[in-house]
A and B are shown apart, each in its own frame.
Chain A
Amino acid sequence: MRNNSVIGWLLAAPLSLVLLVFLVAPIAMIVVVSFWGATEWSIYPAFQFDNYTFLLTSDVTYRVYLNTLKYAIITWAFTLLIGFTVAYYLAFHIRSLTWQIALFLLCTIPFLTSNIIRMISWIPFLGRNGLANQALISWGVIDEPLEWLLFSDFSVILAFVHLYTLFMVVPIFNTMMRIDKSLIEAAVDAGASGWQTLWHVIIPLTKPGIMIGTIFVVALVMGDFITVRFMSGSQSANVGRMIQNDIGLLQYPSASATAVILLVTVLLLIGTLLRFVDIRKEL
């Protein structure tokens, strides 16, 4: 038994080392630096609560947090609806395994290409002279090009949904594929309509997948700074942007304090979600 533990530790050693140096130590460093002081060009060790006091008493912080939560909730709702529908279609309406795998891969491939390129690629669609405006004008729906298509909350959320729906599709599809098909037959035989089967059988059994997808999407949107920066044309802010701004101004202690609060928020949210699902069992 002792021997087992030793082999386990040896096998896990490289992993632990990487996480210790590049995850645990950086978090510790951020916590330490969040108590430091800063001048305009340098930072110095100290133990003061100034950064936190400033953050927690500024209503900008609360507005930015509210905005971040708004992005997270709206993106979550859309990715869940689209992701669930796509996964449902793949799992229950496609009958051959080969086709299921092929279509699933088709959904997965964009995830493995560059996020930044995928954001850039919305410009010709949404711009003032973009495809969307051209089409709407030629159909006579609008007379003037719409200004809010690009560089607005709309485009930010559109990009989030575009980038992250996949993180819903994959876990939900994975859970759905493990549902025993005879349960659905039983429901149908017992006289359930299609909607009743969906609502009373499939959705409850898919909950773990939905939870894992939710964890991914919430974590990605809460921690994002680049999508908001790029798709809002620097006109909207979220917490990530706040951190990035401070970094740009070399105000590392204040960036660290914001980062600590963001981390605590995200971990509390994810921790709550994790109570509803046992990830190791779902893999």
Chain B
Amino acid sequence: MEPRPKSFYALTAFFILFIIFLYGPTLTIGILSFQGPDGGLTFPMRGVSMHWFRDLFEQQAVGDIWGSFRRSFVLGLMVMVTTVVVSVMGGLAFRKRFKGSTVLFYLIITSLVIPSILVSLGVGLIWSQSGLPVHWSSSGFGAQLTWTLPFGLLIMFAVFNRFDRSYEEAARDLGASPWQVIRHVVLPIIAPSLIGVALFGFTLSYDEFARTLLTSGSYNTLPLEIFGMTTNVTTPVLFALGTLTTAFSLLIILIFLLVAWLLNRRRARQGSDAGKGLV
């Protein structure tokens, strides 16, 4: 191998600083959430305790955290499943040109770049003017889809751009019906990417704020609850909650990555028997 150029070391230092910049603040609140009972929102630490985590579990202390967590979790799962199904169908549709596909494509881009507060305001207005009650599982659910679907679809476009169609042709030549081709050839091949779409669907929904703001009604999702807390809670309990929900997000990400990795391995093992000789 060639020796590393000098720029490599400078850039490595830059990259490390960038990572510290990305993770440093989160780590600090992680540390500060173990602040002693008399400690405040900044350093120094006045002792180390689980005091603020215990506070979270006492329902009356601060809002309806566990209720909002449950709602966010269920909503995240709903959005995740819908995002995966709709994105796969959309991705398949866009493989061939159909009338209106260009318009639909620009709508997807619009959905991605539109200021979130417009979706919130517009959906909220429609619901209130037609007398429907805004609720996280109806208006909130739809408003979040306008944020997660573009990401899911962009991933699907990228996947299908790299998809080798000769697999499908081979299946068709062997007499597979269109549905069988999708079910037994296309889906298994794109499965690891679907894990990515699902991960985006869940986490983007779980952390969504702006589009849910005016569309979730009287029952808050977790991010809304946390934002409410920032205006009236001035103790490290805020950090404790932040640490817990970040840890939860990281756990979810880890699980998804693990599943994607396992699927990839399985695909590598079962995908081809080249080189194994004739049986």
Which of B5-13, B54-62, B187-195, B265-273 makes up part of the contact surface? B5-13
Interface centre among B108, B121, B143 (most CB of A within 10 A): B121
Q: Is A249 an interface residue (CB 8 A)?
A: no
In angstroms, Cα B125 to Cα A85, docked, is: 43
In angstroms, Cα B199 to Cα A113, docked, is: 11
Query: When the two chains form the complex, which single residue of B12, B110, B121, B239 contacts A23, counting CB atoms closer than 8 Å?
Result: B110
Interface centre among B98, B115, B145, B153 (most CB of A within 10 A): B115
Q: Is A22 an interface residue (CB 8 A)?
A: yes
Contacts of A127 in B (CB 8 A): 41-42
Instruction: Determine if B96 and A4 form an interchain contact, defined as CB atoms under 8 angstroms apart.
Output: yes
Q: Is A33 an interface residue (CB 8 A)?
A: yes
Instruction: Give the residue name and chain of the B residue nearest to A198 (CB).
Output: B7
Instruction: Determine if B43 and A120 form an interchain contact, defined as CB atoms under 8 angstroms apart.
Output: no
Which residues, 27 to 70 on B, are CB-close (under 8 Å) to A? 28-29, 32, 41-43
Query: What is the predominant secondary structure among interface residues of chain B facing chain A?
Result: helix
Contacts of B15 in A (CB 8 A): 86, 89-90, 103
In angstroms, Cα B18 to Cα A165, docked, is: 10
Contacts of A263 in B (CB 8 A): 114-115, 118
Instruction: Determine if A89 and B42 form an interchain contact, defined as CB atoms under 8 angstroms apart.
Output: no
Query: When the two chains form the complex, which single residue of A10, A18, A103, A222 contacts B86, counting CB atoms closer than 8 Å?
Result: A18
Instruction: Determine if A283 and B23 form an interchain contact, defined as CB atoms under 8 angstroms apart.
Output: no
**A103 nearest CB across to chain B (Å):** 8
Query: What is the predominant secondary structure among interface residues of chain A facing chain B?
Result: helix
Which residues, 249 to 283 on A, are CB-close (under 8 Å) to B? 252, 255-256, 259, 262-263, 266-267, 270, 274, 279-280, 283
Instruction: Determine if B157 and A12 form an interchain contact, defined as CB atoms under 8 angstroms apart.
Output: no
Instruction: Determine if B122 and A226 form an interchain contact, defined as CB atoms under 8 angstroms apart.
Output: no
Which residues, 1 to 50 on A, are CB-close (under 8 Å) to B? 4-5, 7-12, 14-16, 18-19, 21-27, 29-30, 33
Instruction: Determine if B145 and A22 form an interchain contact, defined as CB atoms under 8 angstroms apart.
Output: yes
Query: When the two chains form the complex, which single residue of A11, A114, A255, A283 contacts B207, counting CB atoms closer than 8 Å?
Result: A114
In angstroms, Cα B14 to Cα A77, docked, is: 17
Query: When the two chains form the complex, which single residue of B7, B28, B153 contacts A124, counting CB atoms closer than 8 Å?
Result: B28
Contacts of A12 in B (CB 8 A): 89-90, 93-94, 98, 100-101, 104
Instruction: Determine if B96 and A8 form an interchain contact, defined as CB atoms under 8 angstroms apart.
Output: yes
Instruction: Determine if B157 and A19 form an interchain contact, defined as CB atoms under 8 angstroms apart.
Output: no
In angstroms, Cα B154 to Cα A266, docked, is: 20
Contacts A4-B96, A21-B142, A162-B22 known; A116 to B230 CB distance under 8 Å? yes
What 1/0 flags go to A90-134 for Cβ under 8 Å of B?
100101000000010111011011111110111111010111001
**A228 nearest CB across to chain B (Å):** 12
Which residues, 74 to 106 on B, are CB-close (under 8 Å) to A? 85-87, 89-90, 92-94, 96-101, 104-105
